Chains A and B, each alone.
Chain A
Amino acid sequence: DSGVTQTPKHLITATGQRVTLRCSPRSGDLSVYWYQQSLDQGLQFLIQYYNGEERAKGNILERFSAQQFPDLHSELNLSSLELGDSALYFCASSGTGASPFGYTFGSGTRLTVV
């Protein structure tokens, strides 16, 4: 157990639907990062939140949005889902922007769009 909790572990949904992925960071970590990993793809950075505020944005689609709540958990909302959105979505956390101990990743949510 890495200390970063992601739910659900698996999600199967139809095209056009909307889903919400949830992440609870490791205790004490203020930064949350979301990544998308498709088959044979690297980790594509989506977005970072720090203590409730958006800190950095990657190639996140307009159909995707995220937020970090006062208790520091974060949610990634994916809407108007397409087949190509099927991927593994990871959440990671760290204490501040940079950490000598690296980012701690959760086990991921596997999203399948059918």
Chain B
Amino acid sequence: GQQVMQIPQYQHVQEGEDFTTYCNSSTTLSNIQWYKQRPGGHPVFLIQLVKSGEVKKQKRLTFQFGEAKKNSSLHITATQTTDVGTYFCNNAGGTSYGKLTFGQGTILTVHP
């Protein structure tokens, strides 16, 4: 099944710095979903991207879907301590095993 690889695995930033995490696939993705898991919490759905080149914003978060639909990124502007957590991407839908596996995600630490 399709697998998405996420980089980096860890990212440490100073509060106020920007942060970007990337999801890459060797095959075309039907869609990409992003989730955030706070320390000690459960994953929470953030957004879904479907269209080639799609860009969506949620306050300081900007989500992009590549033109070829093989990669996606999540960019956080001016990080805050509340942004701490693990960010997962997932190619959702269908019953292919690969589409239901989230992978390791990117663990973001924000130093005040």
Chain A residues with Cβ below 8 Å from B42 are 2, 90, 105-108
CB pair A58–B100 under 8 Å, yes or no, is yes
Is A102's beta carbon under 8 Å from chain B? Answer: yes
Is B112's beta carbon under 8 Å from chain A? Answer: no
* Number of residues from B at the complex interface, CB < 8 A: 24
Interface residues of A in 44-100 (CB under 8 A from B): 44-45, 48, 55-58, 90, 92, 97-100
Q: What string of 1s and 0s marks CB contacts (under 8 Å) between B88-103 and chain A?
A: 1000111111001111
Chain A residues with Cβ below 8 Å from B95 are 48, 55-56, 97
Identify whether the interface residues of B are mostly helix, strand, loop, or mixed: loop
CB pair B48–A45 under 8 Å, yes or no, is no
Whole-angstrom distance between the Cβ of B94 and the nearest chain A Cβ: 6
Query: Which of under 10, 10 to 19, 20 to 34, or 35 or more describes the interface residues of A?
Result: 20 to 34
Known: A55-B95, A98-B92, A98-B94. A45 touches B100 (CB 8 A): yes
- Which chain B residues have a beta carbon within 8 Å of chain A's beta carbons? 31, 33, 35, 41-46, 48, 50, 88, 92-97, 100-105
- Which chain A residues have a beta carbon within 8 Å of chain B's beta carbons? 2, 33, 35, 40-45, 48, 55-58, 90, 92, 97-108
